[in-house]
């Protein structure tokens, strides 16, 4: 049963890679621009974001670092009967931060490359779907 699921996952992965590579090498799709007048397509010039402020990024990183180290210390130094609960919380928080970082990174990278917000959200949703498929595959294998 597990071998069938792995074979199916591998086959679908090959199919996805094939479709994505075919779309990537097709001519003309990347430079498509809708012909609607009055809509601004592309990055905004005077948009200042909190994600571009180095101080905000440093504070966010420090808070996440202190939270992660505090969780690990609570896991190590805590009572033995609470260690599984704290370990699960640390693992879920780490996975959440990693997934959020990846999704926001894809969204920010797409916006900085000049993609409209709708395309950036679609690219981020595609990565979220891929993460979901990886999680389901890990659950099936484990």
Residue showing tokens 């202190």: 66
| Whole-number Å distance between alpha carbons of 24 and 83 | 47
**Proportion of the chain above pLDDT 70, given as a percent:** 80
11 compared with 48, residue with greater pLDDT = 11
- Residue ranges covered by each domain of the chain: 54-142
pLDDT band at residue 33 under the 50/70/90 scheme:
low
Q: What is the pLDDT of residue 35?
A: 62
| Whole-number Å distance between alpha carbons of 63 and 126 | 28
Average model confidence (pLDDT) across the chain: 78
Q: What angle do CA 3, 128, 46 make, to 5 degrees?
A: 160
pLDDT band at residue 125 under the 50/70/90 scheme:
very high
Residue showing tokens 């640390």: 90
């Amino acid at each position: 049963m597990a071998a069938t699921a792995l074979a199916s996952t591998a086959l679908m992965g090959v199919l996805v890679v094939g479709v994505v590579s075919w779309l990537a090498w097709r001519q003309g799709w990347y430079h498509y621009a809708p012909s609607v007048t009055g809509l601004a397509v592309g990055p905004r010039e005077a948009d200042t974001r909190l994600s571009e402020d180095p101080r905000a990024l440093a504070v966010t990183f420090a808070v996440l670092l202190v939270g992660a180290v505090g969780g690990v210390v609570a896991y190590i130094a805590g009572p033995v009967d609470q260690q599984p609960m704290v370990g699960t919380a640390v693992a879920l928080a780490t996975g959440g931060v990693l997934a959020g970082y990846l999704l926001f990174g894809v969204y920010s990278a797409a916006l900085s490359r000049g993609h409209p917000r709708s395309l950036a959200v679609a690219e981020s949703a595609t990565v979220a779907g891929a993460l979901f498929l990886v999680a389901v595959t890990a659950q099936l294998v484990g």
